[in-house]
Structure 1
Amino acid sequence: MESRAIVRISLLAAMIAVLGLLPTFHLPVAGGVPITAQTLGVMLAGIVLGARQGALAVLLLIFVVALGVPLLAGGRGGLGVFFGPSVGFLLGWVPGAFVTGFLMRRLAQWPVFPSALIAATFGGILVVYACGILGLMVMARMSVLQAIMATAVFLPGDMLKAFAAAFLAKAADSAYPAALERRA
């Protein structure tokens, strides 16, 4: 891997970590899973870096969190985060970033905004939610329906994040077209 790719991966991992500094919101119906801005960073990792490198950026962040660095929203870090109700969402960030990047590349012939919106919605929301629902079922001992209902409260905010990711992708592409990995 060339050094430019390593720097981009590190920068996106750092951006996801910085988004964890924003205040979190806890909803009682969500099984203890906080509302955070970090999923925006996951969406952007896939959009900007592509499937493989976007997933690597998220893996780098998760590895540093596992070492105990409190980079998750609310100052969380360490191995304990992998045993809580949000573990499905956290681990779902990896395939979420991958699918987002994969779809961005598959939609390379489309304009940036709609392709980024579709990629962020499918990868950054649907894939992450599928993993999060499984995590809630296992860690919070919820039924499938309870986990789906608990996850549904995140949908409006995550759709706003998908629109923000698409808007930022369009702005980045307009300012510096090489910023996005969109080679078909």
Structure 2
Amino acid sequence: MLTSRDLALIAMFTGVIAALGLIPAVAPFGAAVPITAQSMGVMLAGAILGSKRGALAVLLFLGLVAIGLPLLSGGRGGLGVFAGPSVGYLVGFPVAAWLVGRLTELIGRPYRVTLGVMANVLGGVLVLNVIGILGMALVADLSLVRATTVAAVFIPGDLIKAVLTALVAVGVHAAYPGLIPARRERTATTPRVHA
């Protein structure tokens, strides 16, 4: 069950993702899908809130977009954006936030930048781009090779966002160490199961 603190954090990160949409999008070389700062917000949600709350923040954001609020970069919103070439990225947002959050939970405390970058790259770059490429290929009627080529322009920026996310997350977790519960450590009283 979500606490009032959980709900406040989810709402706050929904706002963070929306605010990152105010940064103008860049469409390099006429790419069908613009490069935005919102994917960094997705990584931040997972890296700071964890899997469940991070994914819920992204789902709330997408729900607000779906009902027409112009929260996507460039002031886009409404159901039409879910029929465009960027639909795979939008569908991948909550998956990426969940995976980044889950990997961050597995890292445990203290949050370590190197492991955080790896979690962000796996969830927020690799998985998000795979889902995004599949969506772009289907909606824009592109081959997977062509869609991958188009998406390749995103990778350097996504890697930078993964590093920046880890740097922000390490500071936030140092200031607020209880945001993600500590992993259970094996103690002497914890029974071991033998196969």
TM-score (norm 2): 0.89
- The aligned amino acid for 1:10 is A
Contact 2:107 2:115 in 1 (8 A): yes
Q: Larger C-alpha radius of gyration, 1 or 2?
A: 2
Gaps of 5+ in 1: none
CA distance in 2: counterparts of 1:50 and 1:174, whole angstroms: 15
Contact 1:22 1:37 in 2 (8 A): yes
- 1:47 corresponds in structure 2 to 47
Deviation, 1:92, is 0.3
- SS of equivalent to 2:76: coil
Contact 1:29 1:150 in 2 (8 A): no
Contact 1:81 1:87 in 2 (8 A): yes
CA distance in 2: counterparts of 1:102 and 1:110, whole angstroms: 15
CA distance in 1: counterparts of 2:171 and 2:107, whole angstroms: 17
Deviation, 1:111, is 4.5
- SS of equivalent to 1:133: helix
Gaps of 5+ in 2: 184-195
TM-score (norm 1): 0.95
Deviation, 1:109, is 5.4
Taking the TM superposition and a 5 Å limit, the aligned residue runs for 1:28-177 are 28=29, 30=31, 32-108=32-108, 111-177=111-177
Deviates more, 1:21-30 or 1:123-132: 21-30
CA distance in 2: counterparts of 1:104 and 1:65, whole angstroms: 27
- SS of equivalent to 1:54: helix
CA distance in 2: counterparts of 1:130 and 1:183, whole angstroms: 30
Contact 1:112 1:169 in 2 (8 A): no
The structure with the greater share of residues assigned to helix is 1
Query: Number of residue pairs matched?
Result: 182
Please give the root-mean-square deviation of Cα atoms over the aligned residues, in Å: 1.3
Deviation, 1:172, is 1.4
Q: Percent identity?
A: 45
- The aligned amino acid for 1:125 is V
Contact 2:109 2:182 in 1 (8 A): no
- SS of equivalent to 2:150: helix
CA distance in 2: counterparts of 1:14 and 1:50, whole angstroms: 17
- 2:182 corresponds in structure 1 to 183
Deviation, 1:24, is 0.8
- The aligned amino acid for 1:146 is R
- 1:5 corresponds in structure 2 to 6
